[in-house]
Structures are given as structure tokens and as C-alpha cells.
Amino acid sequence: MAVIRHLLIDNFRSIKKAEWYPRPGLNCLIGPGDSGKSTLLDAIDLALGARRSFAFSDADFHQMNTNRPISIMATLGELSDELKDLEAFGFFLRGFDQANQQIHDEPLAGDETVLTLQLIVREDLDPEWCVFRRT
């Protein structure tokens, strides 16, 4: 089963910008009410979940600023052989250096092979999911 190696959230609800490298194993989100814990979990669910019919609204944008898109990027590691298939995903495969918490657009020697999924919501509120590749 794939695991989240990196999460980048921009302009989503109470989160202006957040970057997180979950540690291997179990991670706990601890904090006071309204500190963004549920928002972080919602971001993961929306980026990776099967709900493609979620109705976004202006309130989902940080401070209701629809001029900047919502962007949620989840980089996944421990990929199955099917997801590492060069014919299907070769152009999108990236590298993750766990020790330095760096993502490389081209996998380097010693990197874990990863894929980055991105959800973008612009002011038209129409969500777009894609496999990310920096061009």
C-alpha cells in the first residue's frame, strides 16, 4: 500500500500554506481546536480519496480568496510495481530522498521512486486531479 511521503497544501480553508513530511509509521495530529487538523485530513481525503463529486465553495479558499487556486499535492511512496511501470507512469516518476526530505523531479541513485498527485481548484470551483510533473 502506498504511503504519503510529502504533503503540500496551498490556499485551502484555514491553511494559507503548509508543507509536511510525515514520518514512517504512525503520525499523530495534536493541537487546539480550529488549528487545522481536520483541514489537513480533509485535504488528504480530497486529493487521494474517491470522492470526485465534492462541491467546492468560496469558503474552501483561504480567507475566501478565489484569485489564488487551491492546490493540494500528495507525494506517495512504497509504490506497487504497477505504479512504477515505466510504460504507464515513467514520465511522472520522481525521486524522494528520505534522509534530506527532498523530492527530485528525476529519481537519483538511492532515491525512493514516488508519484505526486495534485488537486487544483480554481475560481470556477471545478476540481482538477492530475499526476504531477514539473515541466
pLDDT in tens, the chain (135 residues): 899 999 999 999 999 999 999 999 999 999 999 899 999 999 999 999 877 889 999 999 999 999 999 999 999 999 999 999 999 999 999 999 999 999 999 999 999 999 999 999 999 999 999 999 987
C-alpha cell at 47: 486529493
What gap in Å lies between CA 20 and CA 50, rounded to an integer? 22
DSSP 115: E
What is the reported pLDDT for 49? 86
Q: Nearest Cα to 91, choosing from 133, 122, 42?
A: 133
What is the reported pLDDT for 134? 85
What is the reported pLDDT for 15? 98
- In order of start, what are the domains of the chain with their CATH numbers? 3-131 (3.40.50.300)
What is the reported pLDDT for 90? 93
